[in-house]
């Protein structure tokens, strides 16, 4: 079997690798000139946080996400299981209670435990939640690692190739083009996200930290060399326009509220991207005219791409059917 994967974002690369590892002859076509140039994966947070996401996402995402963490660890040494710390300021204590009520796999932590986990946050927060089993990675390094592995397996990504799945001919096609597939998948919509990369040498965090707030919940993910990713907004918009002043203010204020040292940080990068989502914000594997669309990963791209890739490969190679991803309205999709 020969398969063409369209799109070299996290979904496309994971699908291609999953197939190549099973000995399938794969080609990957990407419209962008280089990795990350034309998709939203480049601006992801890279939190592999299935249990935190339960707060707003339902059990399917948690299940796919939990399954994906080992996949990443086996293929990318930069994926580390170091947990997630969730904190809130004193006056936002009800937010912690609500978050705890919706999620799972955490322990409650007080001031001492927070200081032990993140010494630089000592004395700043008196209560929070610690999700020890969650992981994080640097999305850009992770994409590069997947592309490099594909190279080793003889499947280089071909960049700068604009193609619609209808024109690939008689090969099997997996379409992972996100919002690019909008014409074929009319119920897709865009949810814009905005992020910042801050550089700050004097502070270090060992894991992603989420700061709960009734209006502006935000997370800070540590990256190598003193970089911190601060994200991310969720705006119902299809256009990848530049960041708004308001979003910038919100992200910076939240980082500053986590630790005032962020006031001295250098703004290394401002990024925006548009995530593709279906109306229930849950992913789909959808077959249409010989093409298998893997889409609607919403804000969960790195979290669930491996689990979706596995299932896409099983659909293609073994004729499997996954109702929770392939039926339009299965009971698994409904929130509890």
Q: Tell me how far, at minimum, the Cβ of 248 lies from other proteins, in Å.
A: 13
Q: Tell me how far, at minimum, the Cβ of 190 lies from other proteins, in Å.
A: 6
Selection from 63, 65, 60 nearest residue 282 by Cα = 60
Interface residue with other proteins, options 198, 209, 277, 305 (CB under 8 A): 277
Q: Tell me how far, at minimum, the Cβ of 277 lies from other proteins, in Å.
A: 8
Options 44-52, 80-88, 112-120, 278-286: segment touching other proteins (CB under 8 A): 278-286
Q: In what order do the strands lie in the sheet with 107-110?
A: 107-110, 127-131, 84-87, 209-211, 218-222, 227-231, 189-199, 266-277
User: Would you say 132 or 234 has its CB closer to other proteins?
Assistant: 234
Selection from 39, 48, 34 nearest residue 11 by Cα = 39
User: Would you say 90 or 101 has its CB closer to other proteins?
Assistant: 101
User: Would you say 169 or 279 has its CB closer to other proteins?
Assistant: 279
Whether residue 35 contacts residue 43, with contact meaning beta carbons closer than 8 Å, is answered with no
Q: What residues from 227 to 256 belong to the interface with other proteins (CB under 8 A)?
A: 235-239, 241, 244, 246
103: left (phi over 0), alpha (psi -120 to 50) or beta: beta
Whether residue 298 contacts residue 275, with contact meaning beta carbons closer than 8 Å, is answered with yes
288: left (phi over 0), alpha (psi -120 to 50) or beta: beta
Whether residue 302 contacts residue 42, with contact meaning beta carbons closer than 8 Å, is answered with no
Mask: binding to other proteins, 89-128, rule CB under 8 A, as x and -?
Answer: ---------x--xx--------------------------
Q: What residues from 192 to 211 belong to the interface with other proteins (CB under 8 A)?
A: 192
Number of residues written out for the chain: 336
Q: Contacts with other proteins: how many residues (CB under 8 A)? A: 28
Q: Tell me how far, at minimum, the Cβ of 97 lies from other proteins, in Å.
A: 12
* CA 82/CA 173 separation, integer angstroms: 37
Options 113-121, 186-194, 260-268, 318-326: segment touching other proteins (CB under 8 A): 186-194
* CA 334/CA 310 separation, integer angstroms: 23
Whether residue 237 contacts residue 40, with contact meaning beta carbons closer than 8 Å, is answered with no
User: Would you say 63 or 237 has its CB closer to other proteins?
Assistant: 237
User: Would you say 73 or 98 has its CB closer to other proteins?
Assistant: 98
Does 190 participate in binding other proteins (rule CB under 8 A)? Answer: yes
| H or E stretch covering 131 | strand 127-131
Q: Tell me how far, at minimum, the Cβ of 54 lies from other proteins, in Å.
A: 11
* Token code pair at residue 45: 């947070």
For tokens 């080793």, the residue is 152
Q: Tell me how far, at minimum, the Cβ of 284 lies from other proteins, in Å.
A: 12
Q: What residues from 280 to 319 belong to the interface with other proteins (CB under 8 A)?
A: 280-282
* CA 229/CA 246 separation, integer angstroms: 18
Residues that bind other proteins (CB under 8 A): 56-58, 98, 101-102, 188-190, 192, 214-215, 235-239, 241, 244, 246, 277-282, 335-336
């Amino acid at each position: 079997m020969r398969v063409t994967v369209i799109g070299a974002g996290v979904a496309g690369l994971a699908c291609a690798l999953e197939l190549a590892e099973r000995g399938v002859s794969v080609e990957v076509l990407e419209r962008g000139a280089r990795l990350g140039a034309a998709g939203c994966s480049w601006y992801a947070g890279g939190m592999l946080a299935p249990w935190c996401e339960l707060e707003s996402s339902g059990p399917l995402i948690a299940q796919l996400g939990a399954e994906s963490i080992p996949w990443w660890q086996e293929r990318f040494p930069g994926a580390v299981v170091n947990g997630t710390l969730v904190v809130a300021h004193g006056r936002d204590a009800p937010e912690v209670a609500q978050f705890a009520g919706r999620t799972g796999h955490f322990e409650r932590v007080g001031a001492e435990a927070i200081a032990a986990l993140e010494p630089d946050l000592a004395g700043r927060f008196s209560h929070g939640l610690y999700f020890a089993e969650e992981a994080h990675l640097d999305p850009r390094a992770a994409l590069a690692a997947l592309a490099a592995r594909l190279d080793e397996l003889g499947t280089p990504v071909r960049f700068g190739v604009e193609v619609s799945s209808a024109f690939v001919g008689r090969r099997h096609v997996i379409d992972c083009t996100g919002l690019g597939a909008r014409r074929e998948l009319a119920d897709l919509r865009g949810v814009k996200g905005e992020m910042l990369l801050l550089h700050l040498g004097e502070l270090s965090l060992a894991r992603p930290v989420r700061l709960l707030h009734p209006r502006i919940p935000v997370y800070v993910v540590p990256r190598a060399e003193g970089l911190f990713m601060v994200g991310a907004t969720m705006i119902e918009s299809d256009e990848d326009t530049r960041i708004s002043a308001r979003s910038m203010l919100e992200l910076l204020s939240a980082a500053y509220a986590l630790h005032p040292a962020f006031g001295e940080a250098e703004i290394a990068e401002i990024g925006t991207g548009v995530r593709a989502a279906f109306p229930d914000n849950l992913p789909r594997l959808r077959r249409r005219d010989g093409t298998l669309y893997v889409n609607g990963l919403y804000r969960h791209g790195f979290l669930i791409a491996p689990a979706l890739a596995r299932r896409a490969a099983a659909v293609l190679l073994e004729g499997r059917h996954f109702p929770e991803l392939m039926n339009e309205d299965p009971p698994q999709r409904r929130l509890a």
